[in-house]
Amino acid sequence: MWKGRFSESTDAVVRDFTQSLDLDWVLAPWDIAGSLAHARMLGQVGLLEPSEVKTIEESLMVVRDEIASGAFKPDPELEDVHMNIESRLTDLAGPVGAKLHTGRSRNDQVATTVRLFLRDRLLDTAEGLERLMSELLSLAGRHLDIIIPGYTHLQQAQPISAGHYWMAHFTAFSRDLDRLYFALDSLNECPLGAGALAGSTLPLDRFLTASSLGFPAPTRNSLDTVSQRDYMVDYHSFAALFAVHCSRLAEDFVVYSSAEFGWLILPDAFCTGSSMMPQKKNPDVPELVRGKAGQVIGRLVDLLVTLKGLPSTYDRDLQEDKRGLLATLNTVSGILAVLPPLLASVRIDRARARRGMEDGLVLATDVAEHLVSRGVPFREAHAMTGRLVKECIARGKGLLDLSREEWGELLPAASDDLFPDLSLERAVERRTTYGGTSPAMVEGQMAYGEELVARSRERRKKYVRTVTPASPNATETECNQAEGSKTLDE
């Protein structure tokens, strides 16, 4: 493609070092979609004859089908997916095929192809995240009346509704959903027509091209267009924090399903055993989710370091932006495939969860707040209750084991009004502050969550897909998210 300027051919070792086919061949359907839009625009502005546009369109369709069937094998000599498609197009269409690159550089061509591809993949991600969040809503409804320990510092703190626990993770993922749509919006401009960096002297209609590809508008500055990768950073930022949230959920699963806790029961189908110890049930899926989070975070840092200090505008360093992008897309897709069916089969042993709180010490805050309701300053109430707990431990008793006489001895400021409220159920029911753990508050969170997921489904419809997941051109990871069956809780 640049033989006119050079006096010798590219060395084979340079060709192998600079090729990107191992990265970008997956982008072929989206590259063809961009080329079709570009050809039709060239016809509209008079730079191609209608017959030439027709020839290019028909030839590109043949190339698309050859790629989908596997009949088209890319040639490493041609360096990347874009040149392979253009070369095959010229084979089929003759000299007319060479006109397709009129007014276009690989810089704006690649930027357009990646945005089309990424837009489709992010729409798949949004759908997968909705599925994950819907599963959490379902768990919250099923476990609304189950009481489990809430922890700080991994120490029992206060009793909570298990539904409230699931809605905590839902709330974190809802922020991820907002970040995902921010990433979708940040990429939703069309780079075609920016050229190598300065635009073109030809009468290109960038608004027509943008509209035909489903973009609301073209990019505003040609220099920025070919050099910025902010939209990729926005996606990686979403992915990194999403992975962190998945990792925290996974860590909870590992801890709460251990023999020492034991009230969360993971489905056998999502665990493995030991090659040596027959009794083992290992939480491999949560552990792998936790482990993959570091890879996703690393790829965000990788891209930021690549971008840092690059001179304007395009530099070949940017070719490597797709390596981490594709890897993270596949990692996120894998997590979204495995977590919903895992969640669908998670159970809670409510009796085991209660046994861990049977001494009633998790109700200490309720005792302190009872004293506050009787006019005792909170710091004094806290100290008085702390001494009560200390004495209970010394006597080998829990709060619920104390007799009325012992209450009178150890905490004379308490009134008889305390005792009807001194239970796990009442401790949960009475926490009615907005966002609290009472069933009524959790049901309100769930109702809002249902609306949020429904709005996301509608919001997705505002974005244009280039290649549908069911298409033979779609990659395997874009298809067939797994669904899980629900089970009763113990």
Phi/psi of residue 158, nearest 5 degrees: -150, 155
Structure-token pair, residue 128: 């997968």
Catalytic residue chosen out of the listed positions 7, 69, 153, 485: 153
Structure-token pair, residue 83: 């040149």
What SS3 class is residue 219?
Answer: coil
Catalytic residue chosen out of the listed positions 9, 258, 274, 312: 274
Q: Is 245 a catalytic residue?
A: no
Q: Is 101 a catalytic residue?
A: no
Neighbours of 220 (CB within 10 A): 9
What SS3 class is residue 54?
Answer: helix
C-alpha span between 103 and 192 (Å, rounded): 9
Phi/psi of residue 329, nearest 5 degrees: -55, -45
Single-letter residue type at 231: Y
Which residues fall within 8 angstroms of residue 464, CB to CB, at 6 or more apart? 119, 213, 214, 215
Tell me, rounded to whole angstroms, the distance of Cα 367 from its chain centroid. 42
Neighbours of 136 (CB within 10 A): 27
Phi/psi of residue 160, nearest 5 degrees: -140, 160
DSSP β-ladder status, 264-265 and 147-152? unpaired
Q: Which residues are the active-site residues?
A: 153, 274
